[in-house]
Structure 1
Amino acid sequence: MLPALLAALFTLAACTNAPPPQLVERPPSESPTTSAPTTRPKLTEVTVGVDNLEGGFNPHSLADLSPTSSALASLMLPSVFRPGPGGELELDRTLMESAKVVEDAEKFTVRYQIRKEAGWSDGAPIAAEDFVYLWEQLRSQPGASDPVGYQLIEDVASRQGGKTVEVTFSRPYEGWRTLFTNLLPAHLVKDAPGGWAEALDRGYPASGGPFAIQQFDLDRGEIVLVRNDRYWGEPAVSDRVVLRSNDRARQVESLRSGDSHVAVFSADDETMDALRGLGDAVRVKTVPRPATMQLLLRPSSPNLTDVRVRKAVASALNREDLTEVGTQGGPADQLPAHAQVLAPSERGYTPTEPPGAFPGEPDGGEVARLLGEAGYQRSGGTWLRDGRPLNLVIAAPFDNEQYIRIAEETADQLRQQGIQANVITPTGDQLFGEMLPANPRTEDPGASSVDIAVAPRPAGGDPATMLAASFGCPKTDEDGEQPFPYTMTGFCDPLLQPTIDAALSGAISFDEASERVEPVVWSQAVALPLYQQAQVMVVRRGMSGVQPGFGFAGPFSTADRWLGSPTDDDGY
């Protein structure tokens, strides 16, 4: 039997280039030889200390605008354009083959060509469906951080099996390169329970970047990311990145002991002193965030409809004290904001605040003059009109300590000037998704229940788009009937809108539009910028590849190049 089998095998081998398999005769009773266990290589891991891991990771929602959501988006979500070395946007050629304006189109049209191999970690392709989903959501969802450009889009069409996308706009749009950043896996999130507001409360169900979520435990304050084996681009250097939240004292201790390789968190003055005490063991750098902290004095609220009352409120406040309370002496303290659109670290930033527009310290005389002109009288330490006190509602999202500190300090300063104030802390989804963008012309009392809001103003996008998102009038849909959500300020000046529209189309420069619009916004006391948010990035000596990131991309945009150290956990 054996000779016949050998002959057959050699005949088969002669028909192929492969060598014949080696045959070993073994008695039926003999068991296979047991080999020595193979030692698996240890995983290379980077442990990163971060701030509290709040729930909610939608990078397009103001309610979820946080360092953690930005970090996860950098690691897992694909973008058409990303900041280059000079901060200018460059096409991400890992995802895209091209993105160009179609010269001979009847309307302003951009054609996007997605790489054929680009796909999500569950095997689905990154395709036109993802572009359509982001467009449909951001043009209509209240509380979106970057809606204006999407509201200018008339249609998103799929071509060539979804790998070519043609986007048609209602008018020329100079800032089109800022669109379709942080694409989401539409096939998984469009029908997810909770919809847009809740679908990403537990991270992302699939990844289109170099890492994917392996473990997600907000109770323990830990997110474990592993190399995405389905990523078509250059693989990440380290096998795993662990995000671990700690309080500030433990952040410093973890860096001292080596339990953390990197830390990116919000520090106060005491923490900065402690970090300096680590000496040459670490490198410390300030990382500005793409958001300016501001107070919105909402003209859409009945209490603040009169500009004199808004100016009186502004005159009652000490912005330096509000900044100190918010930053606690951390790196953001060095980034005071004195413009209505650009953040202090952005290219082209110059203060636009008119000299003497608001006093450096509370001015009780000015408060009295303005409220008197508005029909108020002070009685028993309280300002009254028609027998009713001026009582302002100040809102801040309940899960953000920094915002709440500013809200409470604002209320205290107003009370010292006889203006009653109380602080409410709705959820971020309630505040940014329901209360602030509500139509002020409706009879719904919830639309005007917030007089002052502590809110972020997104930065880093197209400046004209940011201008429109903050101070433009709401647009309507294609039928001209249903208005899109209002801005958080509730401010709308029809006389300024043509200037804003001209800046969006590129007919005039942002600088020219800013010179016309920002003085009016300052004079109307609609928004009081305080400071640009910032974190501190701390890197232990010996870590390689860690950089602050280009523009506002942040340090996590370089995480695929981070080289960590072997871990005792083999990960299997």
Structure 2
Amino acid sequence: MRPGGVKPGVLGQLSTRSGTLVAMTRSGGTRGRAAVAVVVLFVLSACSVTPPPPLVPSTPGMTVVPKERLNEVVVGVDEIKGSYNPHTFAGQSTITTALSSLLLPSAFRANTDGSPRMDLDLLASAEVTKAEPYTVTYTIRRDASWSDSAPIAAEDFVYLWERMREEPGVLDPAGYRLITDIASREGGKVVEVVFGSPYPGWRSLFANLLPAHLLKDAPGGWASALTDSFPASAGPFAVRTLDQPRGEIILERNDRFWERPAALDRVVLRRASQHDTIEALKSGDDQAALVRAEAIALKEIEELGRTTPLTTSVAPRSEVVQVLARPAAPQMADVRVRQAVLNALNRDELIAIGSRNGPGAKLRADSQVVAPTKAGYQATYQAGTTPVGQLLTEAGYTQQNGQWVRDGKELSLTIAAPAGVEPYVTVANQVQRQLSLSGIAGRLLTTPPNQLFGRDLSGLPTNNAEVVDIAVVPRVDTGDSATALASAFGCRTSSGDSSTPIPANPSGFCDQSVQTSIDEALAGRALLSDVLARVEPVLWQQAVALPLFQVADLLVVLQQAQNVTAGAPFAGPLSDAATWRREGR
């Protein structure tokens, strides 16, 4: 024992000779018992080697919720990368369609048959109120507001109109360019839209309104609008997390939505390879998937269906993959060169490779204007029969060392596609390869989508724009086919302000011989079917665009996810997510 402890032998007596201790207690009375107690306490405090148990502090807010208790549906997707502006070519994707349908208000939405219906969540009424000038009056619900409590009002209509008529790279601007003025009444809740001529397609306008009060003065302006986030929402869901690096978007029920709340607490969009998405369906981590399935994935899903109750359906997008032979490019100004270029392409091979033999392979686009799955579609495609060599010879080219040359200069074309966007980059690579087999050299240019559509294909004079001869890009249908015709092939129109440049269509095509017919269709003075019967043969002969196929996703739904369908035409499966339910929740 250390000095100051119990004398040697005492501890041994306490531990092995308990009888002596008891005897001492009995013989010493009260004084003895007290002395023994002091000795025992002293010994224990001096010689114990077991410390007291540490205190474990409680941590508030760390409750773990079991995964199975979450009232959510997880959807596996191919990609969630940014640029979510639904009004631009650069923003087109499955995710953009999904987010805009759940977060942004629209004057009209698509019925199950594709026809437009007024969205009663936003509007109390919308109708033509005057024939001269042609005026449409929208009455916005008093309780309709953005998630930051700002009212949805006339300024949102004005902002979208101004941007759609002035900005390059926007979808179907022809209808907006017909608008001459927008006036507001009753605190901005009544909006009067005045057109320069009758416009039967007015119901296709003002879909996916944007929060003007947050965007009109934002840094970067329109070019940066919705690049990587949604500053406010006005739908049944709001963004909780938008994590592009991790590949996950979490949408939560929007408590500020003024209509019936969503049944789910949240919807999760999760990026993964198609194989990993199928594995997540197999394990139950995902309850649905929306992917541009290839042939191998289709087989894996079929095998999964043998052991797991699920349903599959094809969800066509509003995109048609097309090859533009641009008359705006000097080398392509001669129609014989454009015809030669398109005749040199193996269209069947481009469709097979671009669709990866998935659902889109069965949606061949044989019309210049109307998508294969849309009402009114009629195939008008006629393959070119004149040999490539004959056309190029007539255009003044000769073949030297396997390459076509004119005035000592090789025919070398720039083939552009939006960088990182499929299937456009894959198809562009094949176009380059096929043209080389016919002696036409090609340089592949993959440009960030905003630059490609906003600069190189805008038709606006810029110092740093690339001269693009061929572009592999989408043709997008926003609802009205007459508007799509005018936007894709119509001549440049005036906004009424000569100082404001109006972008041309992406091909730079303008033919006065068909412009009258296009204007008649846009104004409703002629039936669209009659106009297309006159115009489409000219468009094929002019060799401006070679449509290939309509892009389509495959929707896979497990049994525990209920009410999940392919949705209305071009609206996307997530457009009905407010009605989705999770089995047992």
**What TM-score results when the alignment is normalised by the length of structure 2?**
0.86
Moved more, 196-205 or 220-229: 196-205
Using the TM superposition, give the Cα deviation of residue 83 of structure 1 relative to its aligned residue in structure 2, in angstroms: 1.0
Asked if the contact 2:72/2:264 (under 8 Å) is kept, the reply is yes
- Structure 1 unaligned residues grouped into runs of 5+: 1-36, 360-364, 568-572
Q: Is the 8 A contact 1:88 1:551 kept in 2?
A: no
Match of 2:301 in 1: 275
User: 2:529 & 2:372 partners in 1: Cα distance?
Assistant: 15
Matched-pair contact (CA < 8 Å) for 2:114–2:374:
no
- Name the SS for the 1:425 alignment partner: strand
Alpha-carbon contact 2:418-2:424 (below 8 Å) kept: yes
Query: Deviation string for 1:506-546 (max 9, x for gaps)?
Result: 00011111111111110010000000010000000122111
| Rg larger in structure | 2
Q: Secondary structure at the match of 1:63?
A: coil
Distance 1:188 1:259 in 2: 37
Give aligned-pair identity as a percent: 48
Query: Against the structure 1 CA distance between its residues 90 and 367, is the aligned structure 2 distance closer, same or farther, given a 3 Å change threshold?
Result: same
Within 5 Å, give how 1:465-544 maps onto structure 2. 465-480=483-498, 482-544=500-562
Cα-to-partner distance string for 1:270-300 (whole Å, 9 max, x where unaligned): 0000000112521111111001000000011
Residues 173 and 504, structure 1, Cα contact 8 Å, conserved in 2: yes
Q: Give the C-alpha shift of residue 438 in structure 1.
A: 1.7
Q: 1:86 Cα shift?
A: 2.1
Asked whether 1:434 is paired with 2:462, we answer no
CA distance 1:447–1:523, shift in 2 (3 Å): farther
Deviations 1:163-183, CA, capped at 9 Å, x for gaps: 000000011001000000000
Q: Equivalents in 2 of 1:129, 1:420: separation in Å?
A: 50
Find out whether 1:129 has 2:132 as its counterpart.
Answer: no
* CA distance in structure 2 between the aligned counterparts of 1:213 and 1:39, rounded to whole angstroms: 22
Paired with 2:549 and 2:118, the residues of 1 have a C-alpha distance of 31
Q: Which amino acid aligns with 1:326?
A: G
The code of the aligned residue for 1:536 comes to L
Match in the other structure for 2:470: 452
Structure 2 distance, partners of 1:513, 1:75, is: 36
Task: Kindly state the Cα deviation for residue 469 of structure 1 after the two structures are TM-superposed.
Answer: 0.6
The correspondence for 1:358, drawn from 384, 406, 431, is: 384
* Structure 2 residue aligned with 1:221: 247
Measured in 2, the distance between the counterparts of 1:370 and 1:292 equals 28
Match of residue 387 from structure 1:
408
| Aligned residue in 1 for 2:424 | 403
How far apart, in 1, do the equivalents of 2:80 and 2:495 lie?
Answer: 37
Q: Give the structure 2 partner of residue 44 of structure 1.
A: 71
Does residue 305 (structure 1) correspond to residue 333 (structure 2)? The answer is: yes
Unmatched tracts of structure 2, length 5 or more: 1-61
Alignment TM-score, normalising by the size of structure 1: 0.88
CA contact (8 A) 2:398 2:404 kept: yes
- Following TM superposition, by how much is the alpha carbon of 1:498 offset from its aligned partner in structure 2, in angstroms? 1.4
The amino acid that maps onto 1:176 is W
- Distance apart, 1:64 and its partner CA: 0.7
Q: Which amino acid aligns with 1:252?
A: I
Q: Distance between the aligned counterparts of 2:392 and 2:248, measured in 1?
A: 51
Code of the aligned partner of 2:89: L
Q: Deviations over 1:428-456 (max 9, x none)?
A: 001111111124xx5x5755610000010
- Give the total of aligned pairs: 520
Q: Distance in 1 between matches of 2:523 and 2:260?
A: 37
What is the letter of the counterpart of residue 121 of structure 2?
T
TM-superposed deviation, 1:38: 11
1:87 aligns with 2:114: yes
Tell me the equivalent position of 2:85: 58
Amino acid at match of 1:499: S
3-state DSSP of counterpart to 2:155:
helix
Q: What one-letter code is carried by the residue in structure 1 that aligns with 2:235?
A: G
SS at match of 1:125: coil
Q: Which residue of 2 is the match for residue 362 of structure 1?
A: none
The Cα of 1:216 is off from its aligned counterpart by 1.1
Once residues 394 and 112 of structure 1 are traced to their aligned partners in structure 2, the CA distance between those partners, rounded to angstroms, is 44
Instruction: Read off the aligned partner of 1:506 and give its amino acid letter.
Output: G
1:562 paired to 2:580: yes
C-alpha distance after superposition, 1:194-244 (max 9, x if no partner): 211212111211110000000110000001110000000110000011110
Q: 1:564 offset after TM fit, Å? A: 2.6
Aligned equivalent of 1:101, options 124, 128, 133: 128
Change (3 A) 1:219 1:38: closer
C-alpha distance in 1 between matches for 2:509 and 2:246: 42
Q: Which amino acid aligns with 2:181?
A: D
Task: Find the aligned partners of 2:516 and 2:121 in 1 and give their Cα distance.
Answer: 38
* CA–CA separation in structure 1 for the residues paired with 2:239 and 2:449: 24
Contact conserved, 1:193 with 1:199, CA < 8 A, in 2?
Answer: no
What RMSD, in angstroms, separates the aligned Cα atoms of the two structures? 1.8
Q: Which residue of 1 aligns with 2:370?
A: 342
Task: Kindly indicate whether the alpha-carbon contact (under 8 Å) linking 1:474 and 1:483 is maintained by their aligned counterparts in 2.
Answer: no
Between the aligned partners of 1:106 and 1:463, the Cα distance in structure 2 is 24
Partners of 1:371 and 1:191 in 2: CA distance: 51
Query: What is aligned with 1:546?
Result: 564
User: For the structure 1 residues 158 and 40, does the alpha-carbon distance in structure 2 shift closer, same or farther, using more than 3 Å as the test?
Assistant: farther
Match of 1:25 in 2: none
The equivalent residue for 2:440 is 419
Counterpart residue number, 1:29: none
For the residues of structure 2 that align with 1:413 and 1:424, how far apart are their CA atoms? 16
Q: Residue 78 of structure 1: CA displacement? A: 0.7
Instruction: Determine the structure 1 residue equivalent to 2:481.
Output: 463
Match of 2:167 in 1: 141
